[in-house]
């Protein structure tokens, strides 16, 4: 099993995450993307892992990476990247780990930052 998704018809994803985290065994990690379920994976199997793999193959250093996120499942990725940016509509858990915030996804926050880079 690479990923286990857990949902409940009466429990919202953030409440469900709070309930599941204490039950996850060592070597596993629980998170949510804001979708109506919780994702459980092996510890370290996250967006940062995937991004690191791509960057290693392309010989791109973490300091050269800009990553955008809006929820729990983006935390590892934005903290790994040289420049981690929270969307304006980001969950407080993600906002707590970044130094920079852009406009929301509905306000083209990613484009607003990318335009400053070109």
pTM: 0.86
Contact yes or no for 34/71 (Cβ under 8 A)? yes
Mean pLDDT of 5-32: 92
pLDDT tens digits, one per residue of 84-114 = 999 999 999 999 999 899 999 999 999 999 9
What is the full DSSP assignment across 8-22?
A: -SSS-HHHHHHHHGG
Contact yes or no for 68/109 (Cβ under 8 A)? yes
- Residues 82-91 as b/e (b if ≥16 CB within 10 A, e otherwise) read ebbbbbeebb
């Amino acid at each position: 099993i690479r990923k286990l998704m857990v949902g409940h018809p009466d429990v919202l994803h953030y409440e469900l995450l709070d309930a599941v985290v204490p039950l996850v065994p060592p070597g596993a990690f629980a998170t949510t993307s804001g979708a109506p379920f919780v994702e459980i994976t092996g510890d370290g199997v996250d967006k940062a892992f995937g991004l690191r793999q791509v960057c290693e193959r392309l010989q791109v250093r973490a300091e050269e990476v800009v990553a955008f996120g809006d929820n729990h499942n983006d935390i590892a990725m934005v903290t790994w990247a040289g420049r981690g940016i929270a969307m304006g509509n980001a969950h407080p858990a993600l906002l707590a780990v970044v130094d920079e915030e852009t406009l929301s996804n509905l306000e083209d926050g990613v484009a607003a930052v990318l335009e400053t880079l070109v």
